[in-house]
Amino acid sequence: MLDVFHFTNHISLFTTTHFTINNSHIMNTELLGVIGIFLLTIVLAIPLGKYIAKVFLGSKTLLDPIFNPIEKFVFKISGINPSEEMNWKQHLKALLSINMLWFFLCFFVLLFQGSLPLNPDNNPSMSPDLAFNTAISFVVNCNLQHYSGETGVSYLSQMVLMFLQFVSAGVGIAAAAMVFTAMRERTTEKLGNFYNYFVKSCTRILLPLSAIVAIALVFSGTPMTFEGKDTITTLQGDHVEVSRGPAAAFIAIKHIGTNGGGFFGANSAHPLENPTYFTNAVELWAQMIVPFAMIFALGFFLNKKKFAYIIFAVMTVGFLLLVIPTMSSEISGNPAIEKMGVSQLNGAMEGKEVRFGPAISGFWSIATTVISTGSVNSMHDSSMPMSGAMQLLAMMVNVFYGGCGVGYLNFYIFIILAVFISGLMVGRTPEFLGKKIEAREVKIAAFIAILHPLLILAGTALASYFAAHDTAMGYWFSGNATGWLNNPENHGFSEMLYEYTSSAANNGSGFEGLGDNNPFWNITTGIVLLLSRFIPIIGPLAIAGLLANKKYIPESAGTLKTDTTIFGIMIFAVIAIIAALSFFPALALGPLAEYFTLK
């Protein structure tokens, strides 16, 4: 009996050791995969940035023979002269007008989709408040989905939404191109043509990259069809209907355009939307490549590569400070479960897909919130509290990489503020690229910097007030306000905070324990979406246009160098003080409080 005990004990010890070693090997492999994807994206972003700079400078590229005829046709049928120069006000007029047109087009398609063609599954029309929220969300590049793709929209609606994913990303890149032009010119009010920048953004940047990603997805098993649900027989003999559709094309631009809206309800956690580790790597690369490349494009466009490297370095430091605690938290597992004696060798697997694991899921969660894509390959609501705090902080800061084009516009605001503060510190009139930064530019920058926390905290305060008092909501929600919360206390607060943070950052991801498909959440987040998209675009374009029209001051010995490590540290400090610290009390009430309850 004693020999049997010793034999069993040795087997148990061997098995535990074997699984510990095997788990360590798997975790190391996952970490190598994450590092490899990140470094590959940076390496490929440099030549892509050079190509983007050539596109906006009007230089020759290899794709000219393909896209020149297409662009000429587009401009001919639309009656637009792409060589007609615009000032910054004309850029804004064109940008806002075309977005208004797209909003009404999408709104009416969603409102009447049940009666329109390409609806093989007979999905119903959306309610007015949901159509309002969805149309705004896709127009502003957010894709905050208060519906599930399988049952919430027809194929026609999916195609319209996919069109908006292209053009909303193109608008952001075109706006950044105008700011690039303003920074490059010495003294001028002629800042290129919005429609020229916009069309080229869609045809020469977004379309080719999306085609590459879509092909990779199709060959990996993602559906690309206009047929309705397919009926399959499971191993148990049950008959199950499986949704499909033109998913591969939709998923490609959702990432390349940093949109994030899923074709299916579970987004990139869905096995048809993201079938394998390879597709997971492709989709991660796809959402990071354009924001990375836009920073390098700035350096090539201005012929100031060192300046671009400093900006990229600041963004990367901020990104790593967010992603490292998140990955560590997810890999370490849940201490509350560990206290119950349950093994955590594979990390915190609640809400994770087994085919991906916690390491790359944690990395994705920060990549998608920093870059403002908002797609998910795991459920953020099930993330560890520290991970949730980092996801929120990524969107609250909203300047590290960011979305297509608008990521740099957000960072540009903090460059202006950093230059102004630096000038005050040394007793000189602040100058940036040969232009004086004066009161008007600083006021605009300060207003934009304050607007982001105002929208998030005001919305969260309103929702929290109703929930705390269990208010009867009438038309706005069926029942009392506590009914939209599936989790009490700190996590419930985090869900409401996350929804408004995601809306204000034009991100679109969510803590999906929140019941958000109702008039209250559809309308309030819709208003936040509108304000947080267009005002932060108007501000940088106005500042850039005003500076471009000023007299150029040649660089002298007293000029503040903006391509140095010291200036990079200054920008980071301004971001940390103005952006990050504004949200510390809210984070302390939500994810940080939850973190300490697990200790």
- Which neighbouring-strand residues pair with 436? 431
Contact in structure between 49 and 295 (CB atoms under 8 Å): yes
Give the number of other Cβ atoms within 10 Å of residue 580's Cβ.
15
CA–CA gap between residue 560 and residue 556 (Å, rounded): 9
- Which neighbouring-strand residues pair with 242? 230
Joined tokens for residue 338: 């560990």
SS3 273: coil
Q: Does pTM top 0.85 for this prediction?
A: yes
HEC sequence for 132-167: HHHHHHHHCCCCCCCCCHHHHCCHHHHHHHHHHHHH
Residues in CB range of 517: below 8 A, 6 or more apart? 130, 146, 147
521 burial (CB, 10 Å; 0-12 / 13-18 / 19+) is buried
Strand 239-242, strand 435-436: pairing: unpaired
Give the number of other Cβ atoms within 10 Å of residue 535's Cβ.
14
**Residue labelled with tokens 């007029």:** 93
Contact in structure between 40 and 48 (CB atoms under 8 Å): no
- Which neighbouring-strand residues pair with 472? 480
* Secondary structure element (H or E) that encloses residue 435, with its range: strand 435-436
CA end-to-end span of the chain, whole Å? 42
Q: What is the reported pLDDT for 39?
A: 97
Contact in structure between 540 and 179 (CB atoms under 8 Å): yes
What are the boundaries of each domain within the chain?
36-231+240-597
Give the number of other Cβ atoms within 10 Å of residue 475's Cβ.
9
Give 10-residue mean pLDDT values along the chain (599 residues).
Answer: 38 38 62 94 97 95 94 94 95 97 97 95 95 97 93 95 97 97 92 96 97 97 92 88 92 96 94 95 97 97 96 97 95 88 86 93 97 94 95 96 94 95 83 91 96 96 95 92 89 95 95 91 97 97 96 81 92 89 93 89
CA–CA gap between residue 587 and residue 599 (Å, rounded): 17
Residues in CB range of 247: below 8 A, 6 or more apart? 217, 222, 223, 224, 263, 264, 272, 273
Q: What is the reported pLDDT for 339?
A: 85
Q: What is the reported pLDDT for 26?
A: 56
